Structure 1
């Protein structure tokens, strides 16, 4: 298989002796803080940065007995869908080393698929857990916004991103979610899911250490209504659609009711997502100025010169592109034209999802509309790269949970199926996905 370049830093961090993850190894995406172990975010800007503290999720991993085996490779600051924008080189796909592993959590997914780690943590801003999970043939869960603490996560787009698990099976992913989920006094966006929502069957979708998400992985879909998002099938690769149709037929054979659901608003999701995400990135990355964090810009000239030199040396091309576009969208005279309209579209998408869940318990689509591209194919056309997020970004805009599970293969390459649930409906998507994986 050769070197997949799944890790930026290989370092063993021992957990407690006992716990639900005792004896399990975990790869941690390199934008999640680990005390005493460098955290680069896949960027030359932070090549030598060593955090003085653990992220909440890392604390919970260690308390659960897990052993962290390294910091997984990623697109620089999470900006990319193939892990090719990493300053440390691309991660290769275990299914075909000539193809991308997906991104931005490509190293995490590749490490699990290749057996280099039992489990992994990724982050998902617009599909960055589900995308590589689909491309590598493993399971990835993007939790409801607020279910998992983001304390210790180096922010890209605060209102969109969540930390979540990647694993070989749905049950194992849910076991990892059980460990990392729950309120955190250091992150005011977290919520106790048991108070936020009751499950569709009357059982609480509880958060926290005793959430029991893994217990929902019973594969029982009898009586469940699965809504197929027809808008997200348009334009997808025929081979992907065929694998998706087979997966849906499998669920139907197990007792699920399948119906078609339309979401008119998703046509505008990619545009709204990139305006919002890039705008938040422009603000968040202002701290990387060579003084507070990052590569020094030297001491010649004035502050603006030093600031520019630091960012020129530290940031890659994709990060520069997104910061510039985000700054433009927030600038005087353009805020209402772009950013405000993007937020209106986000509200529309949320309303559409609410209406869809009146018709179905979970919603389904292919995770990615294409098969894993060859290395180098996507970087030449940024717009094409952005458009492959069409099926995943609506979920982040609506703050909903989603899981990508293997739906088989096409031409020997993995295909993923995505199941979306209502807010704090993790148990329901785990249940349905476990009928397939």
Structure 2
């Protein structure tokens, strides 16, 4: 016969289930909040003891209500947090098995990409998926087989109002790649897709995780290179930093992929050339305006234009590429063969974006210090006075240049591509 304590527990659980079955949405929300508050840290045996071996009855009611109401967001946050209590207490996988049997995994994945569901609720769903994945490779594979990687990647790319949701998605993707050789390539491709999103935070987190995953893989995916270089156009310093770190990994001697290094170097050079063509177009347009417009009217237009929108992305990328090349210490000779000195001198003359001038000056100074042949060529291209200004203060050189000196830089005829 059951003891008095067991009888009391049974009576209490019957009352709880009766309140749940007959209760309104408001009453059920309060039941869930009370449950969460009282059971933040509890093991499965303790939970079963407290519920008189009937915890599954309450658990089933929550999962059933979740499947019915998740599209409407009814008490969704509270339901997911209550399920977390059960799943994180599941030392014997009892509740986890029950949850999977009733289609709980598919419900969580569907929650991730329902537009009307709040990002905070999606974060709770991601953390539940992480709990499932932490139970071992079999469960990671189950998530992946259920098209989980795509759902998680899309959630990460589209969640623009809650950075914690994107961080939770990154942590989950990292977990799915770890110790899961069958699906690490799928995670890798999902991260590449995120690079094309419009969310700067998603791009930053995706590149950060790629920095970790790439050394574990045998080769670089061909579709990866151009999106990574394009990230250098980002207005966000964090995205640029992660992109540069990833480019350093892709071009490192440890990776030892000559073809990949050559392609990235050529992409960087081509982007610099494109930005210089844009700069030339802007200069030509300014000259035409000077011939047509009156001085006062022209000055007003220049003032208005200077206040619009900030720098062009192509100039932001131009400055970032100059900095990136300076960081690629083991690729100096490769860039010299691609005539980088000519391009750096041209960028130093880009009066449209001072940061480009600064980064190009610092990178050129790096090459001048390292190679005597570059020293001689740059000295000849700039002339003694301008070279002395540059060599003495490469960091502030751009602020001392006048328009004629900038034109000297832009019109240089340096060609070191054969050396």
Structure number with the bigger relative contact order (C-alpha 8 A, sep ≥ 6) is 1
Higher strand share: 1
Q: TM-score, normalised by structure 1?
A: 0.22
Q: TM-score, normalised by structure 2?
A: 0.22
Higher helix share: 2
